Amino acid sequence: MAEYIFFDRDLSWLAFNGRILELAGHDDIPLMERVNFMAIFSSNLDEFYRVRMPVLQAMDKLGELTSATSAVDDPLAIAQQLINQQQQQFGKIFNSEIVPALKENNIHLLLNQPIPAALIDKTNDYFFSQVMAFLRPFKFSGKKKFFPENNELYFLVVIADDNGAEKLVVLNIPSDDLPRFYKVEDKGKTYILFLDDIIRYNLDKLFRGETVKDCYSFKITRDAELDLNDEYPGDLSKQIEKQLLKRDLGIATRFLHQPGIPLRILQMVSESWGIASSSLVEGGNYHNLKDLFGFPVSSPVMRYDEWPTIHNRLSADKSIFDQIERKDLLINAPYQSYDTILRFFNAAALDETVEEIYITLYRVARDSRIVNALINAVSAGKKVTVLVELKARFDEANNIKWANRLKAAGADIIYSVTALKVHAKVALVKRRVNDRIKYYGLLATGNFNENTAAFYTDHILMTANKDLLREIELLFIFLARREKPTSAKLIKFEHLLVAQFNLQDRFFELIDREIDNAKKGQSASITIKLNNLEEHKLIAKLYDASQAGVKVQLIVRSICRLIPGVKGMSENITVKRIVDRYLEHGRIFIFNNSGKPEVYMGSADWMNRNIYRRIEVCFPVYDEQIKAEITDIINLQLADNVQAVMLNEKIENIPIKTTKPAIRSQQEVYKYLSKKA
């Protein structure tokens, strides 16, 4: 591999979050959608501090932050500087744009101000009847330790008695038990208050006979990584449950506090809770603004225009399996109804010819109808085998819950080995028809989760292709053995691209073919859509392709370590980022192949974790009509000049300036699929 350079992984991720924040400031976007973008930004930043900041801090201590391949010298310092800038921008947008815009719509969000006299009686009643039941004041002292829970909201309350002696009390803000926002109507106006302020302005009622001198809000963000043993002989779910109990006591990566806390108090609490001075971050008065997802305004005039779901034209009178057997089907969520996928699993549970069902589950809906269908299938006497990935970050507890229910119902449950996550999105159904076994399957770019399917753009192929599905069956047989792949030759996948077996090598071959075609003067191009692009070897191969004259078009939503447009390295590569009403989530790979395009889709981003530490499945699209449909969708996204930005060689999001007609790809994809329906 040549001496290529790459964007820093974490700075690229922060640049993506910066794009989300930019959209929160666009006044041509409906107001409540802008509020949602602010919530997304806040949620993403929390996750960054839980997942990535511990890595940056650890590498900084070890002196391993810089390398010859990195485009920057001190990513930790730059990340902290960038976060500070973004937080200032967040405050400016929220206070100077969002709050006044709400007021123009007769919605008065009260920030950093006393509760109006007209609302006092109602807020007092709410405090006494609802809020006080969940308040747990804790006197801060050296005798009994108190450890704030991860990402929970608290006040530090300074109280003085009649003699002037001060004490410090930690008081929880119970936003997990009560709505973060309190809405009240008065004289034709809508007022919205933070739960924080209702507590703040009633502290004298909580601490009667004492004087409340000061009150400061804070929260602590902690390292979220679970410490799992690679070789664990016991029940993996039990090991994970134990680790989840420790997650809230992980190393503090951020102590976020409102301005004005006296230094003596900061030093006292940081020493008691083991917080490094480098993790002290001054923010605003209100934290956890991901709670803006629950902002209590539902007016449709402040939301995106509704796009009616496109329903798929499947016969209600005929078996869905017979219809799949006649022709492959493609579901493009959320544009097209996910009911077809639910129907597939319900039919598998009830169809008397179905004998076996296999499925991988990575992130499961809280009220999963898919899992309920699997439980029904077990009750109907069918063999149901489910690979439940218990190590899906932040979904561990929910996945354990469903795994236990499936196990109790009688399903065969497979857990992945500790060192590997199974991130593949595949399902297989086997029917016995006239004494012959027939195969039907789903191969997807996203999770089998009907909740996220409402706002993630994904593609689900429904097929009876025996070549693909027999290889899926081989994969399930291997996974049931709970072994690490010791050799890529263990299973010879001729159609599927499976990480740990042939995925990376096969992508190398596909890129090399384009390079060879370019050198021969033939048409050569590569179009790839990913969530994240990080892995050095695959990026280097794309750099090689660029230097050979291959046109490379990338659509990368989030992390992108490839630096586009650098002369002598990547001048033939462009990177586009699309953020809109839906979360772009599908992974698509198109190789020109001298005018005979090969199209692949699947679960795998090009990140180190996907390539080296996960079982992923990408699959070829053989049906010519579906191949054309996917290509058309990608071409609409490549033409986006409204919601898309180009990534430049400085990791900046550059708006697209053009005299061409405005194209908003998600809207155009919806129109395109509507016409086809």
Is 423 one of the annotated active-site residues of the chain? yes
Tell me the two tokens of residue 583: 């979360």
Are 226 and 186 in contact by the 8 Å Cβ rule? The answer is no
Rounded Cα gap, residues 142 and 410, in angstroms: 51
Are 203 and 366 in contact by the 8 Å Cβ rule? The answer is no
Rounded Cα gap, residues 604 and 425, in angstroms: 10
Q: How far apart are the first and last CA of the chain?
A: 47
Tell me the two tokens of residue 262: 């006296």
Buried b / exposed e along 39-58 (16+ C-beta atoms within 10 A): bbbbbbbbbbbbbbbbbbbe
Rounded Cα gap, residues 357 and 430, in angstroms: 7
Tell me the two tokens of residue 659: 């005299």
Q: Which residues pair with 589 in a beta bridge?
A: 528, 600
Chain CA centroid to CA 595, Å: 35
Q: Which residues pair with 526 in a beta bridge?
A: 552, 591
The H-assigned helical ranges of 48-202 are: 53-62, 75-93, 99-104, 120-126, 195-200
Q: Which residues pair with 356 in a beta bridge?
A: 383, 430
| Beta sheet of 138-139, edge-to-edge order | 138-139, 166-173, 153-160, 211-222, 252-257, 280-282
Q: Which of 297, 305, 301, 256 is nearest to 35 (CA)?
A: 297
Are 442 and 328 in contact by the 8 Å Cβ rule? The answer is no
Neighbouring C-beta atoms of residue 67, cutoff 10 Å: 10
Q: From residue 545, how far is each of 101, 514, 525 by CA, in Å?
A: 49, 7, 9
Rounded Cα gap, residues 445 and 602, in angstroms: 5
Rounded Cα gap, residues 413 and 405, in angstroms: 10
Q: From residue 608, how far is each of 94, 107, 545, 638 by CA, in Å?
A: 36, 46, 20, 26
**Annotated catalytic residue: which of 257, 287, 423, 459?**
423
Buried b / exposed e along 290-326 (16+ C-beta atoms within 10 A): bbbeebebeeeebebeeeeebebeeeeeeebbeebbe
Neighbouring C-beta atoms of residue 365, cutoff 10 Å: 18
Judged by DSSP in three states, 164 sits in coil
Are 333 and 457 in contact by the 8 Å Cβ rule? The answer is yes
Phi first, then psi: give them for residue 624, nearest 5 degrees: -65, -35
Phi first, then psi: give them for residue 457, nearest 5 degrees: -85, 115
Residues labelled as active-site residues: 423
